[in-house]
Chain A
Amino acid sequence: MTTDTSVQSPRVMWATRAIGLLALVGTGLTVWLGLWVTPPDKVQGDLVRLVYIHPGVAWVALYLAFGLAAACSLLYLWPRTRSLFWDRLAAAAVEVGVVFNVATLISGSVWGKPTWGVWWAWDARLTSTAVLLVLFLGYLALRRVPAEPEVRAKRSAFAALFAAVDVPIVHFSVLWWKTLHQGATVLNPNLSPTIHGSMAWTLLLGFVALTLAFVWMLLVRYRIGALEDFLGSGELDMALLERQSEGAGPTPEPLGTADDARAPVKASR
């Protein structure tokens, strides 16, 4: 089965642009509302403003990105739905997920310093998120190993599966580690129980804007993966291509499979 990955439908390109723009606007709006328009909280004061972005990035990283990656990996492994499309989507989701995961840890840490007095605490949620980050990074490290696309896809999918299966176990173990500790739990990440009015809307906007940002990044990252696969994904080959085009030397051997020669020649944007 040959899918000509060098061609991207104009609809997808337009949609990507639109989503990107919406994400940008939404995020800008969230920042404006979060930092200026909304009032400080009775309990947390100005620190509540971080709540407009922190749960947003966390939800994207932990549930959206990782859940998607796990689902795509399963779809790849299932023979009926096997397609490199799922593998590429999973890889894109994980890479973007890592970025959001780091953002989650940073925003959580920055919230924690004035609240708890420390940059890091072995809080159940922070710890689980950190473990998840390492699992994500392991997946990416595994993908870097040069291999045939199908082999790499299968290997990565298994790795994602193992990690996904581990996540609930890690979650509970860290939770119990924290709460079943003999001593008292000093740190209590309590948010204001009621959040209403402009704050609630800003929170919702934050979620939406960050989700849109994720989708945009996912689309672009997927596209990058498709282009890389089309070009044979050899960093050396690409560097050689670039070098040769600069020197206007002899044109290099076309990369890709023999099937590509029959594909419609169409440069994409």
Chain B
Amino acid sequence: MRYVIAGYVVVLTLLFLYGVQLVWRRRRLNRLVAQVEDSRSGDLAEAGPA
């Protein structure tokens, strides 16, 4: 039974941690994209009407 518990724990932890990592990566990228777009709209605003 120990093996069964160990198996479940390892597999599910692996999947869970990978899932967490995915969410973290996505969040980080979303933040970067938001910055890029903020800076871009900032530049456009500074440039003024063409």
Contacts and interface: CB of A to CB of B under 8 A. Distances in A.
Contact of A102 (B5, B14, B39): B14
Give the dominant DSSP class at B's interface: helix
A231 B29 contact: yes
Interface residues of B, number: 31
A27 B43 contact: no
Contacts of A245: 35
Interface string A250-261: 011011100001
Give the dominant DSSP class at A's interface: helix
Contacts of B23: 220
Interface residues of A, number: 50
Nearest to A53: B11
Nearest to A5: B33
B4 A255 contact: no
Nearest to A57: B11
A230 B36 CA distance: 10
Interface string B9-41: 011101100110011011001101111110111
A213 interface: yes
A265 B30 contact: no
A228 interface: yes
A113 B47 CA distance: 68
Nearest to A96: B18
Contact of A227 (B12, B26, B35, B39): B26
Contacts of B15: 27, 99-100, 103, 213
A238 B32 CA distance: 7
A224 B22 contact: yes
Contacts of B11: 53, 57, 103, 106-107
Contacts of B7: 50, 53-54, 106-107, 110-111
A99 B14 CA distance: 8
Given A103-B11, A103-B14, A267-B37, 4 more contacts: A47-B3, A221-B22, A228-B29, A255-B36
24 contacts: A49-B8, A50-B7, A50-B8, A53-B7, A57-B11, A99-B15, A99-B18, A100-B15, A103-B14, A103-B15, A106-B11, A106-B14, A111-B3, A213-B19, A216-B19, A224-B26, A224-B29, A238-B29, A241-B35, A251-B39, A251-B43, A254-B36, A261-B40, A267-B37
Interface of A: 6, 20, 27, 31, 34-35, 46-47, 49-50, 53-54, 57, 96, 99-100, 102-103, 106-107, 110-111, 113-114, 213, 216-217, 220-221, 223-224, 227-228, 230-231, 238, 241-242, 245, 251-252, 254-256, 261, 265-269
Interface of B: 1, 3-8, 10-12, 14-15, 18-19, 22-23, 25-26, 29-30, 32-37, 39-43
